[in-house]
Structure 1
Amino acid sequence: MYALGHLGLVLLAFAPIARHLRRTNRTPLAAAGTIQVAALSTIPDADLLLASVSHRGVTHTVWFALAVGSGLATLAALRALRRPPAPGRRRWTAGLASGLIGAFAVLAHLVGDVITPMGITPLAPVVDAHYSLAVVNAADPSANNALFALGVLATTSTWIAGRVRVPRARPTPRTVLAWLARIDRRPWRTPTTHRDDRTAGQSTRGALDENAPR
């Protein structure tokens, strides 16, 4: 695929992840991830700028995806070490997220190339098996435009429809006991108590009247 098609494909693939992050109250990570996958959508095609590297060679393998992910994770971790950790977060969280998102972007690019007749050899040089689904041509403008439109539509719907869902607190023995204590003080129990007190008062007055001297 061309750059426009790859951009749409990575956005389309990352949209469900971004929606999940938004629903779990991690909107900044969803935004950073969307920007990162968009920026890395064509990074494997850097081999076109290198005369000594064949196109769809080493940069179109899972090993390259692991290398990109490891490099981004290392850079993010080193940057996090220079800053104080955020409350409730660990230093390696940013590095791990950046590495996973970077590797995901490269793998999504490989999916965009495996559907073309030229295909890829994703496990080279360990395994020389070549894969090609030959669904569309890489230069097909209709396919590239359609993928881009789907990616933009999926990303837009994620940010419009994806609402933040506040997680519910799990009940603990202390909260259960407090809830039971509040039930005992609810207003609907008050009339019964008053009626019992009134009945007890009438019985006491009756007993006093019987014991009174005549």
Structure 2
Amino acid sequence: MHREGHVGMALLAYSPVAMGTTAVGYTDFAIAGAVVAGALAMVPDLDMRIPFVEHRGPTHTAWFTLLLGGLAGGLGLIASLSRGVLAGIGIGLFAGVVVSLTIASHLAADALTPMGIQPWTPRSTRTISFDLFTAANPIANYALLGIGIVAVAVGFATGSALSGFT
């Protein structure tokens, strides 16, 4: 997939988090999470800029997803401990979930293409590919972007409506 498709998939994956975070009254965090999801949607493709790293190799695995999510969670916890232990844990969990979902959404989008991904490498070299459309398909990329934007907007709107009931 190209940038548009990956950003759309990241927003789609993040939309339930946006809804829940908005519903409990943390709209500022929900907005920040959406921005982070969009901004980090292309991180796994940094492998194309790193010499000797195969494209859709180590950066397109579940292990990379867990590593980055764990790092984000740890940094979120450390950075927010001044707000108290519970706040630090909450912010750390939020950061870890947002980053993990974003990286996982990238993998999911790439699994829609004929090339697919090998998410369990080196434990398994099984390729997952749904072979729905090529990564360069502009209709698929812009459709995913549109779906993601609509999904996150619905998430915010639903969360906002639900916040009146809490």
Flag whether TM exceeds 0.5 (same fold).
Answer: yes
8 Å Cα contact 1:44-1:60 kept in structure 2: yes
> Are the counterparts in 1 of residues 115 and 129 from structure 2 also a CA contact under 8 Å?
yes
CA-to-partner distance for each residue in 1:114-154, whole Å, 9 max, x for gaps?
A: 01000000000011111111001100011101111111122
Deviation at residue 84 of structure 1 after TM alignment: 3.7
**1: CA distance between counterparts of 2:64 and 2:42?**
13
| Larger fraction in helix | 2
In structure 2, distance between residues paired with 1:124 and 1:104: 19
- Map 1:25-174; keep pairs closer than 5 Å: 25-81=25-81, 83-85=82-84, 89-161=86-158, 162-163=160-161, 164-167=163-166
1:85 corresponds to which letter in structure 2?
Answer: G
Matched residues in 1 for 2:154 and 2:97: separation? 23
| Contact 2:112 2:129 (C-alpha < 8 Å) held by counterparts | yes
Q: Please, what is the CA RMSD of the aligned residues?
A: 1.6
- CA gap of 1:17–1:77, structure 2 versus 1, over 3 A, is closer
The higher relative CO (CA closer than 8 Å, separation ≥ 6) is in 2
> Alignment identity in percent?
33
Amino acid at match of 1:53: V
In structure 2, list runs of 5 or more residues that go unmatched: none
* TM, length-normalised to structure 2: 0.91
Whichever residue aligns with residue 136 of structure 1, its letter is F
TM-score by length of 1: 0.71
Count of aligned pairs between the two proteins: 164
C-alpha displacement of 1:75: 1.4
Query: Which residue in the other structure is 1:19 paired with?
Result: 19
Cα offsets for 1:9-55 (capped at 9, x unmatched): 11112112211222232323322221121111111001011121000
